[in-house]
Structure 1
Amino acid sequence: VITSGDKTTKNFEIRDDVKIHRFSYFFPKRLQRLTYTGGMRESFKHSFFAKIQVPFFILFFFLKAIKFCKNSDVINAHWTLSGFAAIPFKKMFKKPLVLTEHGGSIRGLPKWLNKFVFKRMDIVTSAHQDMIDEIKSMGINNVVDIKNFLDEEKFLKKHNIKSIKKELNIKNEKVVTFIGRFEELKDPLTFVEAVPYTIKKFNNIKFLMIGDGHLKADIEKKINDFGLNRHLFLLRPTREVEKFLAISDIFIACSAEENCFSTTILEAMLSKVPCIITKAG
């Protein structure tokens, strides 16, 4: 895996037997604004500096990837800018290019750029039917529907519910959970704003929010303004999301744009947690 890094990540690590090589695209690293900020569209919206960094991102991505792509069988790019950086490798190394579209590129980049890159891919894949329809509307026909994969064993195994609840100081209360980026796309503020109405009618509920992003400060302010510190807990993103789904009684997704085949919703369903979601995606 070739991906960007930031000031908190290692340049190289092995995770689950996968070798991960990271590159920096601006110096010092603390000034990088394009990635690790909650999503590409959000980066462009909140930082003009992020737009300036796009050419540097593509250049350093290309330089980092060139020595690894030569010996690969297939090059799989995730989002349009990665695909753009990989286009030269198709001719240089005669390697097939696959681009997986998650939605961020279509929502955040100009249509002409997406079309330019998609046309040069051997295959474009997506897990979202609305994305597939949008790509096809550009005249791209080599689109394949591949759903997101989940580790069933991870989400179906038994957990020590009492121990997990004890960590969070939760006793016999019901648990309502939000998992996702703290960005406008996911609409976490609606979740927070619904809490005061809920606790007026039910006093035996705790709320969990797991994520990070540009809206975190706004979320914290609303929690303080509404006096929700005893009712709503903010947790940073974790690779052990299954632990918190195991103690959840309801899962909430508030996005006005993207819910269909959202990975977190699929994970909640696999964990047998009832889901309340908006009609979106």
Structure 2
Amino acid sequence: MDFPTTTPELAIEARGLVKRFDETLAVDGVDLAVPRGSITGILGPNGAGKTTTLRMLLGIIDPDEGYRRVLGHDNPRDVARLIGYLPEERGLYPSMKAYDAIGYMGALRGLPLKEARNRGRALLEEQGLGHAADRQIRQLSKGMAQIVQLLGTLVHEPQLVVLDEPFSGLDAINQGKLEVLIRGLADRGVTVIFSTHVIAHAERLCEGIAIIAGGKVPFAGRVDEARDRIPAQVRLETSADAGPWTAALPASTRKVGQFRFFPLPESGIEPLLKALIEGNAGIRSLSIERAGLHDAFVAIAGEAAAARLVTDAGQDEEQAA
């Protein structure tokens, strides 16, 4: 297959990725473009095809159809030492000390073992975990062990970091630490792509997202573009309950208590404001609220997929408790 010309500003390019396992179509025609130095989220419920997509991008498994290019290479395995990968299935040797576990993972990526161990200690200190450096993995809390494995993913200073459900099982404090760490990587020019079923993480962290459901990607682009799929909503409160000004309100206006809600008119807010003022509506409050990513996800992927996201997030909270 002839691949298109390399796009230097992209860390990851994928077109038409398809993967079948026996009779199951796990991924069905995924397209993806991840700019260098960006944070991109693959957002979808469990079983949507996120992990399979990431594994194809990394060359762990090959697609049945389509192509992918990572850091300018058609074979992702050629640049494995430039990539940090945190799999969904966590795995550390329980008898290893924390700093040694990080060093071991760095050595697997080409670092001299001594240097990797020294970096491991330094990374633990940076994360406020220097006191745990000489503890065995079995002596650490689940959250601390996950942070150790994440640091092992970063110890060789990769150009691209791929995280599969990195927030799963972490409590709120460690989730916050991980968000800070991810932002710090992007600030240094590292490209980060992570999968998640928690909309809040994608909304806070990501410049771009790919929404995946049923192995398909119905949307891939900037977060603000996804939110713009739904018109901004206007919330209006007036002292007058009726008058000629009501004719300027959209037909879809709904009243809840003292407030009226309706989509922002295509003509903008100014003509409506003029009608309200001239009609003596008595504006008490007026606000324009952009749709959140959750509303955009529902509009793009459907309510069933959104409900599964909520269920998955609830199960995560139970595991972290």
Q: TM-score, normalised by structure 1?
A: 0.29
Structure with bigger RCO (C-alpha 8 Å, 6+ apart): 2
- The structure richer in strand per residue is 2
- TM-score, length-scaled by structure 2: 0.27
- Structure ID, larger Rg: 2
